[in-house]
Amino acid sequence: MASETETFDGGCTCRHVRYRMTSRPMFVNCCHCRWCQRETGTAFALNAMIEADRVELLSGDVELADTPSASGRGQRIWRCPACRVALWSNYAGAGDSVRFVRVGTLDEPDRLPPDIHIFTMSKQPWVILPEGVPAVREYYNPREVWPKASQDRFAAVKAKS
């Protein structure tokens, strides 16, 4: 059963950075856009969207890399200053109060499978999407897709910022 008290620990490869998500994320996007393919060097990016104040830095520090984005408004990628692994991003749309945590940096990434696949128009052809998980050619309206509880969390964090 989904619980607000679940925690998820993660970190970079050199272990300078260790962090903890103090609850489940609001939603997990698997993005198959060309930008995510290039930034990860692989087929997609897996991002868990969560309130910034629900991500605790347990040790180390993170370094900002301002990175262009498809929207033209930029993406702020936070990386380990030593091994440069990307840990989370802020996008202009959601602002600094929402972090897009890279699920692959969690100790147990299997716990957060995608809630939706996006930008499937540029999906690598050998990636076979599972049945029963929503998939859209481009982006989507969270009001039509996110659970009500997650929409409420997002509205609350936006109201605070």
Under rule CB under 5 A, residue 33 binds Zn ion: yes
Alpha carbons 67 and 65: distance in angstroms, whole number: 6
Q: 119 phi and psi, to 5 degrees?
A: 50, 45
Q: Residues 83 to 112: which contact Zn ion by CB under 5 A?
A: 83
Binding mask 34-63 for Zn ion (x = CB under 5 A): --x---------------------------
In the numeric block, which tokens belong to residue 48?
A: 């868990």
Structure tokens at 130: 């599972």
Residue 12 touching Zn ion (CB under 5 A): yes
**What is the C-alpha to C-alpha distance for residues 159 and 153, in angstroms, rounded to an integer?**
10
Give the list of residues 6+ apart from residue 110 with CB closer than 8 angstroms, or none. Answer: none
Shortest Å, Cβ 155 to Zn ion: 24
Residue 128 is classified by DSSP as P
Binding of Zn ion by 18 (CB under 5 A): no
Written as six digits, the tokens of 113 are 């499978």
| Identified binder of Zn ion from the candidate list 14, 127, 133, 156, rule CB under 5 A | 14
| Distance in Å, CB of 88 to Zn ion, minimum | 14
Please state the closest distance from residue 129 (CB atom) to Zn ion, in A. Answer: 15
Question: Residue 119: which region, alpha, beta or left (left: phi > 0; alpha: psi -120 to 50)?
Answer: left
3-state secondary structure of 144: helix
| 10 touches 52 (CB < 8 A) | no
The residue range among 82-90, 94-102, 104-112, 124-132 that interacts with Zn ion, by the rule CB under 5 A, is: 82-90
As measured in angstroms, the least distance from the Cβ of 66 to Zn ion is: 17
Residue 31 lies near Zn ion (rule: CB under 5 A): yes
- Pick from 16, 18, 20, 76 the residue near Zn ion by CB under 5 A: 16
Q: Binding of Zn ion at residue 135 (CB under 5 A)?
A: no
Q: Which residues bind Zn ion (CB under 5 A)?
A: 12, 14, 16, 31, 33, 36, 80, 82-83
